[in-house]
A and B are shown apart, each in its own frame.
Chain A
Amino acid sequence: MSSAATTTYVLRGARPLGGEPVDLVLSGGVIAEVAAVGAASPTDAVVVDATDLVALPGLVDLHTHLREPGREDAETIESGTRAAAAGGFTAVHAMANTTPVADTAGVVEQVWRLGRDAGWVDVHPVGAVSVGLAGRQLAELGAMADSAARVRVFSDDGRCVDDPILMRRALEYVKAFDGVVAQHAQEPRLTEGAQMNEGVVSAELGLAGWPAVAEEAIIARDVLLAEHVGSRLHVCHLSTAGSVEIVRWAKGRGIDVTAEVTPHHLILTDELARGYDPTFKVNPPLRTAADVEAVREGLADGTIDIVATDHAPHAREDKDCEWAAAAFGMTGLETALSVVQQTMVDTGRMTWADVARVLSAAPARIGRIDTGERAQGRPLEVGEPANVTLVDPAARRVVDGAGQVTASTNTPFQGHDLPGAVVATFLRGRATVLDGAPVEAAEAQGVRA
Chain B
Amino acid sequence: MRHLLSTQDLSRPDAVRILDTAAQMAATQSREIKKLPTLRGRTVVNLFYEDSTRTRISFETAAKRLSADVINFSAKGSSVSKGESLKDTALTLQAMGADAVVVRHQASGAPHVLAHAGWLDAAVVNAGDGTHQHPTQALLDAYTLRRHLSGTALAAPGASGPDDAAARGAGLDGRHVAIVGDVLHSRVARSNVHLLHTLGARVTLVAPPTLLPVGVQTWPCEVSYDLDATLAGDTAHGGPDAVMMLRVQRERMSGAGAGGGAFFPNPLEYSRKYGLDARRLGLLAEHAIVMHPGPMNRGLEISAQAADSPRAVIVEQVANGVAVRMAVLYLLLAGSDEAEVAGAPAAATAPLAAPVPTVERVPAS
Listed in ascending order, the chain A residues whose CB lies under 8 Å from chain B are 189, 192, 195, 198-209, 211, 275-276, 317-318, 320-325
Contact = CB atoms under 8 A, between A and B. Distances in A.
B80 A203 contact: no
Contacts of B218: 200, 203-204
Interface in B210-227: 213-216, 218-219
A208 B116 CA distance: 22
Given A205-B132, A211-B214, 11 more contacts: A189-B260, A192-B261, A203-B214, A203-B219, A204-B219, A207-B108, A275-B116, A320-B87, A321-B80, A321-B86, A324-B106
B85 interface: yes
B187 interface: yes
B215 A200 contact: yes
Contacts of A189: 260-261
B215 A201 contact: yes
Interface in B120-147: 129-133
B151 interface: no
B110 interface: yes
A322 B79 contact: yes
Contact of B113 (A203, A206, A276): A276
B107 interface: yes
A203 B219 CA distance: 9
Contacts of B81: 325
Contacts, number: 92
11 contacts: A201-B215, A203-B218, A205-B132, A206-B133, A207-B130, A317-B80, A321-B113, A322-B105, A322-B109, A323-B109, A325-B107
Interface string B258-284: 001100000000000000000000000
B112 to A, nearest CB: 5
Nearest to B109: A276
A202 B190 CA distance: 12
B112 A275 contact: yes
B349 interface: no
A206 B193 CA distance: 13
Given A189-B261, A206-B190, A207-B108, A322 B132 contact: no
B113 A324 contact: no
B290 to A, nearest CB: 25
Contact of B129 (A195, A202, A206): A206
B297 interface: no
A204 B132 CA distance: 7
A323 B216 contact: no
A216 to B, nearest CB: 15
Contact of B78 (A201, A205, A276, A322): A322
A199 B106 CA distance: 21
Contacts of B214: 198-199, 202-203, 209, 211
A322 B110 contact: yes
Contacts of B190: 204, 206
A209 B218 CA distance: 16
A206 B79 contact: no
B305 to A, nearest CB: 33
6 closest Cβ pairs, A-B complex: A206-B132, A276-B109, A203-B215, A206-B131, A203-B213, A324-B107
Interface string B65-89: 0000000000000111100011100
B87 A323 contact: no
* Most chain B beta carbons < 10 A, residue from A198, A204, A208, A211: A204
A211 B214 CA distance: 9
Contact of B112 (A204, A276, A317): A276
Contacts of A325: 78-81, 86, 107
Nearest to A196: B108
A323 B108 contact: yes
A320 B108 CA distance: 15
Given A200-B215, A203-B214, A204-B190, A322 B107 contact: yes
Contact of B79 (A207, A275, A321): A321
Contacts of A192: 261
A325 B117 CA distance: 15
Interface of B: 8, 78-81, 85-87, 105-110, 112-113, 116-117, 129-133, 187, 190, 213-216, 218-219, 260-261
Contact of B213 (A209, A275, A318, A323): A209
* Most chain A beta carbons < 10 A, residue from B78, B187, B260: B78
A322 B86 contact: yes
B198 to A, nearest CB: 15
Contacts of A206: 108-109, 129-133, 187, 190
Nearest to B186: A206
Contacts of A201: 215
B108 A198 contact: no
A275 B363 CA distance: 14
A206 B105 CA distance: 13
* Most chain B beta carbons < 10 A, residue from A203, A206, A211: A206
Given A204-B190, A206-B108, A323 B113 contact: yes
Given A199-B215, A200-B218, A317-B85, A205 B116 contact: no
B253 to A, nearest CB: 14
B112 A203 contact: no
A323 B260 CA distance: 27
Nearest to A273: B109
B128 to A, nearest CB: 10
A198 B131 CA distance: 14
Contact of A207 (B86, B105, B109, B261): B109
A322 B105 CA distance: 10
Contact of B215 (A204, A275, A320, A322): A204
A211 B105 CA distance: 25
Given A203-B219, A206-B131, A322 B213 contact: no
* Most chain A beta carbons < 10 A, residue from B81, B133, B213, B218: B213
A200 B215 CA distance: 4
Contacts of B78: 322, 324-325
A207 B214 CA distance: 12
A112 B239 CA distance: 70
Contacts of B85: 317, 320-321
A202 B79 contact: no
A316 B303 CA distance: 50
Contact of B130 (A199, A211, A324): A324
A325 B83 CA distance: 12
Contacts of A275: 112, 116
A205 B218 CA distance: 13
A318 B80 contact: yes
A201 B213 CA distance: 10
Contact of A321 (B8, B87, B106, B187): B87
Given A203-B219, A204-B190, A323 B107 contact: yes
A194 to B, nearest CB: 12
Nearest to B49: A322
B286 to A, nearest CB: 35
